[in-house]
Structure 1
Amino acid sequence: MNDSYYIRENGQQTGPFTLQEMFQQHLDVDTMILVPGSDEWQEASYVSEFFEYFEAQGIYFPTEGNLASFWVRLLAYLIDSIILGFAIALLASDYLEQMATLFTSTTITVEQKMQRLQLNLLLTAVFALYNTLCESTPMRGSIGKMLCKLAVVDADGRRLSVGRALVRNFTKILWSFVLGIGYLPILWSERRQGWHDMLAKTYVIRRDV
């Protein structure tokens, strides 16, 4: 019975290797592998027996079975909102007290309306920066996502670069102006992506499956 694996790098084929020997070859997701019983070379990221190997390196491939639902993502968002709300209240309580009048006053001037808009933009930007920093580190997601056992990854299962995380999270600011409509495709899209995910080519996956 053929249980040998082969690797092709720089046009050179090496092997045969047993499965255990393959785990010692410093595989990358793009490494081309010939698996037992197959005549077609394929990238290591598509070979199911190496999924745990890559997860041990912090690489979580987005698959049909591990994509996070809208509702668990909403729960993570609510947790983050509470955490950031407490943090902002502690660090900028005086400023928030002054700004609170903008939302409680029955009659406000044009200048106050602009101040209200600026405050909304500032809070949205803080939330976006918070998520960007978390997603581009080994955390692979905000505190809320970590508590819900979620991670944000690219198509290869890797954590996001700072640039990709910025694109993903600052695109969310646009949805804040249109009642969050960009999040709704998560409910029905095949890959459970919001418009910000589609633009940045990112996925939110569950770590516990």
Structure 2
Amino acid sequence: MEQVSYTVVINGKPQGPFSLEQLSDLKVRPGTFIRKPGMDDYKEAHEFPELRELLGFSFQQTAPQYFASFDQRLLAAAIDFFLIFLAYIFVLLLCFLVVSDKNTRILLFVTYMPLILVARFIYGSIAEAGKKQGTIGKRLLNIRVTDMMGNRLSIGRSFLRNACKILSVIPLFFGYLYSFLNKKQQCWHDIAANTLVIKDRLI
């Protein structure tokens, strides 16, 4: 069985790798940042089950401290809308194969445009309540949607959050801009649904 190696942040600097047995000789505390192969970010020692067993730590759930910025959220939303729009165009092209009248084609394009918003609402709600906690756009930006303690959303709360986005749109998108005034960078729909959009802590 391949032995797992750990990188440990000591005095603000990553050091290692160390084996699990070597960690018992270091002064590892529950809040010490540690990473092992395959992880994109560091986690605190108490978040590793094997370290809790080895060092006698208990799991200490803490509220997230690193929040997605407005530009990250905006770019993620733009990516999602672009992908959904591409899917919309693809479906229209299939329809155009059986509809030859120009006026009918224009009517189809305009009439079904609101479906983009409906698709974004349904997809966003399901994806943000899923295992990855985010849409494709959010996953590409390494951000995710959580409750106030960093946990995965229920499907009900996810639908509520996306439905409350109308609060952030009216009036004049101020609900989105409010994130600049909020320490946790929450928009109005985040506050209404008691949710956060967080990012990983990278060292």
Give TM-score scaled by structure 1 length: 0.60
CA deviations on 1:140-180 (whole Å, 9 max, x unpaired) are 10100000111111112111110010010111134445332
Matches of 2:141 and 2:193, distance apart in 1: 22
The 2-side partners of 1:100 and 1:179 are apart by: 29
SS of corresponding position for 1:205: strand
Q: Does 1:201 align with 2:203?
A: no
- Preserved contact between residue 178 and residue 186 of structure 2 (Cα < 8 Å): yes
Task: Show structure 2 runs of 5+ residues with no match.
Answer: 1-26, 31-47, 97-103
Q: How many residues align?
A: 150
Against the structure 1 CA distance between its residues 44 and 157, is the aligned structure 2 distance closer, same or farther, given a 3 Å change threshold? same
1:23 to 24, 30, 52: 52
Q: 1:98 aligns with which of 106, 109, 120?
A: 106
Q: Is the 8 A contact 1:125 1:173 kept in 2?
A: no
Tell me the secondary structure at the aligned position of residue 199 of structure 1: helix
Aligned residue for 2:151? 158
Q: Distance in 1 between matches of 2:73 and 2:29?
A: 41
Q: Tell me what 1:50 maps to.
A: none
Report deviation, 1:99: 3.7
Amino acid paired to 1:141:
G
The equivalences for 1:13-92 within 5 A come to 23-24=52-53, 44-46=60-62, 61-63=63-65, 66-92=66-92
CA distance in 1, matches of 2:183, 2:126: 27
> Could you give the per-residue CA deviations for residues 75-95 of structure 1, whole angstroms, max 9, x where no partner exists?
111111111110111123448
The alignment yields a C-alpha RMSD, in angstroms, of 3.3
Shift of 1:67: 0.5
Judging changes above 3 Å, is the alpha-carbon distance between structure 1 residues 174 and 20 closer, same or farther for their aligned structure 2 residues?
Answer: closer
**In the alignment, which residue of structure 1 is the partner of 2:131?**
138
Code of the residue aligned with 2:60 in structure 1: it is A
SS of 2:164's equivalent in the other structure is helix
Q: How far did 1:203 drift?
A: 0.7
Alpha-carbon distance between aligned partners in 1 of 2:162 and 2:176, rounded to the nearest angstrom: 12
Amino acid at match of 1:73: R
The percent identity for this pair of structures is 30
1:3 and 1:74 map into 2 onto residues whose CA distance is 39
Are the counterparts in 2 of residues 132 and 166 from structure 1 also a CA contact under 8 Å? yes
The question of whether the paired residues in 2 share the 8 Å contact of 1:149 and 1:206 is answered with: yes
**C-alpha distance in 2, partners of 1:3/1:101?**
61
- Looking at structure 1, the residues matched to 121 and 159 of structure 2 have their Cα atoms a distance apart, in angstroms, of 8
C-alpha separation between the residues in 2 aligned to 1:177 and 1:197? 15
- In structure 1, give the amino acid aligned to 2:122: L
Listed one character per residue, the Cα deviations across residues 42-67 of structure 1 (whole Å, up to 9, x for unaligned) are x7113xxxxxxxxxxxxxx521xx21
In structure 1, the residue corresponding to 2:197 is in which secondary structure?
strand
DSSP-derived class of the 1:159 partner: coil
Is the CA contact 1:124–1:173 (under 8 Å) kept in the aligned structure 2?
Answer: no
Secondary structure of 2:198's counterpart equals: strand
* 1:182, distance to aligned residue in structure 2 (A): 1.6
Match of 2:146, SS state, is: strand
